[in-house]
Chain A
Amino acid sequence: MNKTPEQMNEDLLRPVFHTTWRFWATVGVLLSVIAAAGLALSYQVWNGIGVWGIDRPAFWAFDITNFVFWIGISHAGTLISAILRLANATWRRPVTRCAEVITLWALMIGGMFPIIHLGRPWLFFWLAPYPNERGIWPQFRSPLMWDFFAISTYITGSAIFLLYPIIPDWALVRDKSSGWRKKFYTVVSLGWRGTPKQWNRLEMAMKIMAVVIIPVAVSVHSIVSWDFAMAPVPMWHSTIFAPYFVCGAIFSGIAALIIAMAIIRKALGLEDYMKRLHFENLGKLLLVMSLLWFYFIVSERLTTWYGNEPSEMAVFWSTQIGSFSPLFWTMVCCNFLIPVPLLAIKKLRTITGTVIASSTIIVGMWLERFLIIVPSETHKYLPYAYGSYRPTWVEITITAGTFAAMMLLYVLFAKFVPIISIWELKLGERKPVVSPQLSVVASDLPALAEPTGLATDS
């Protein structure tokens, strides 16, 4: 990378200390979209969820699509970061924080939808198990209750996993700032000094978290899938749903991460830190996930078709040649036909190529969530229970608001926290130390006597 530690400090702290007009313009635009979504949400709360397009038999639609989609996006961060940390992938260093932030915000946005969907969101605390005068208690057998516990655990774990490596960077900002910033960062850096004991405990805590958070992440999306799979609804009651959802979640998560990194890279001038190598490696992961996703789609569709169960076939044909088929085939193009060549051919696996592939995947994965939910609901077991669904402006505005909220939270985060972990980057740039014993052996092997540079990112 050829950057000195001082240059790294300067480059990566610049966005924290300097605010440009672009920042305010972005915040302004995003806030106006969020305000529109807020108005739509207020209108919905005031009038009830009858203002949505949902009606018998389709009681879940855009809101639960958004819920599953955002919980899926949340798998970008913590899970990928934890896997890369445990695998000690040295190229991970500029990527991990960008990824971990996505998890936290996506979980917050996704977790909001079941609350909105309650119809009376001000009573959402009834989900929490606490002694009450109502004499009722949460139903622990319900997958929706499992969601409450799983998402609470994941959001707590992800926030802590994100926080650990930030503490030393906040201490760095504290030392370089003055005025209100100094006071703020003194509090949030928790008195960090950088003693060997502190470093050791921090790294140990990060390792434990990386081990714990992977099964938590897998469980979260498995439980989200069980919201559907535990119900005797055509094409939902499937044993393949949990791994299929986890695969889709990681798939959409990596796509979101690539897009976020590309925007951050350009907006904050971090081209020297987020290089083609990072996009290429993430692109390869994305390719694997695209192929896996296609495998799951084929497995699911093939077994349904072979079983030829009438109620399931009604849903099946509605997505293959019926009213949902344009969305289904768009999804296949977006998730498989377009990204696979872009990611498989080395010449096309550029930053632009991976970003294009990721953008189509985001669209495709949103459609996938929609197509899991709505066709099954509108084609229940008996034809008299069939129905249709068309979203209203309220649902569309709230959905647009979630994307704006995600971007705004990301922009604000990058304003208060260095978006690349500075100390980890410096650690990666450090040349490996040759111990005295190894030096004696290596002196006979000139090629080994010099540091290999294996720890560098590029």
Chain B
Amino acid sequence: MTAIYGLYPDPGSAERAFQSLRRPPDGVDVSDNDIVILSSEPFEEYEFGRRGHRTVMPWLAALGGLAGGLLGFLFVSYTQRAYPLPTGGMKIVSLWPDGVITYELIMLSAILTTLVTLLITARSPRRSRKLYDPQVSEGKILVGVVNPAEASSAGLERMLRDAGASSVVSCP
């Protein structure tokens, strides 16, 4: 993986770099998917912080909860029939107590679905090597491009520097 990136001391300059990468001048080729932004805190008030904002996570959590609840109820009611206990003439499958178990399993499934969705959509944990700079932890905001076209490198470096980068790094 090759990359060129700038480290920005504040979100304003990172936003400028992001906007210039989205509208590059002639001769500089940048695909939107190749732009990388990394920060040590969320910046949702800036456009760069809202990339990939759309998510169906709440719907998946709700669906996961419903599925878990349904399976939970089926599990409890099936096993109550499979292992019948003397109930003194009362119903073998009793809705009130089964409702408690079903409720807990709805919640547990929603929690686990959210966790799985987070891990998959945030691509964590990952095995492949990705662009990163430990200075992000110092509060710097990384804005860069992965696998840039060789002909665009000089133009990209200039653009990143003009936006206010405290340093511009090319790797490897």
Contact = CB atoms under 8 A, between A and B. Distances in A.
Among A150, A223, A435, max chain B CB count under 10 A is at: A150
B42 interface: yes
B102 to A, nearest CB: 10
Interface residues of B, number: 62
A139 B107 CA distance: 21
Interface stretch (B22-30, B46-54, B149-157, B163-171): B46-54
Given A194-B40, A201-B122, A204-B57, A160 B111 contact: yes
A122 interface: no
B108 A140 contact: no
A175 B134 CA distance: 5
A205 B117 contact: yes
Contact of A423 (B41, B101, B114): B41
Contacts of A192: 124
A168 interface: yes
B104 A150 contact: yes
Contact of B39 (A160, A199, A212, A213): A199
B101 A149 contact: yes
B107 to A, nearest CB: 5
Contacts of A394: none
Among A198, A219, A433, max chain B CB count under 10 A is at: A198
Given A149-B105, A153-B104, A140 B125 contact: no
Interface string A151-165: 011001100100010
Contacts of B137: 9, 171-172, 175-176
Interface string A188-210: 00111111111111111100110
B1 interface: no
Interface string A238-271: 0000000000000000000000000000000000
Contact of A426 (B41, B85, B98): B41
A153 B39 contact: no
Contact of B111 (A136, A198, A212): A212
A207 B63 CA distance: 17
A53 interface: no
A216 interface: yes
B79 A137 contact: yes
A453 interface: no
Nearest to A163: B115
Among A172, A200, A212, A432, max chain B CB count under 10 A is at: A200
A432 B125 CA distance: 32
Contacts of B114: 160, 205, 208-209, 212
Interface in B57-108: 57-58, 61, 65, 75-76, 79-80, 82-83, 85, 94, 97-98, 100-101, 103-105, 107-108
Given A153-B104, A167-B124, A205-B118, A196 B50 contact: yes
Contacts of A200: 42, 44, 50, 52-53, 55
Contact of A157 (B39, B108, B139): B108
A140 B55 CA distance: 37
A215 interface: yes
B110 interface: yes
B61 A208 contact: yes
A204 B52 CA distance: 12
Contacts of A145: 101
Contacts of A141: 94, 97
A157 B82 contact: no
B23 to A, nearest CB: 18
Contact of A208 (B42, B52, B110, B124): B110
Contacts of A341: none
B104 A219 contact: yes
Contacts of B112: 156
Given A140-B98, A146-B97, A196-B49, A204 B79 contact: no
B76 A140 contact: yes
A219 B106 CA distance: 12
Contact of A196 (B51, B76, B110, B134): B51
Given A146-B97, A190-B124, A196 B108 contact: no
A177 to B, nearest CB: 10
Contacts of A433: 11, 45-46
B57 A201 contact: yes
Contacts of B58: 204, 208
A129 interface: yes
Among B51, B115, B134, max chain A CB count under 10 A is at: B115
Contacts of A175: 134, 136-137
A202 B40 CA distance: 13
Contact of B51 (A137, A197, A209, A212): A197
A208 B51 contact: no
B122 A198 contact: yes
Contact of B48 (A139, A196, A203): A196
Nearest to B103: A219
6 contacts: A6-B139, A140-B101, A157-B107, A198-B122, A212-B61, A433-B45
Nearest 9 interchain pairs by C-beta: A197-B52, A137-B83, A199-B42, A175-B137, A190-B124, A175-B134, A191-B126, A190-B125, A149-B104
Interface of B: 11, 36-46, 48-53, 55, 57-58, 61, 65, 75-76, 79-80, 82-83, 85, 94, 97-98, 100-101, 103-105, 107-108, 110-112, 114-115, 117-119, 121-126, 130-132, 134, 136-139
Given A164-B118, A201-B117, A435-B45, 4 more contacts: A9-B137, A153-B111, A219-B100, A427-B41
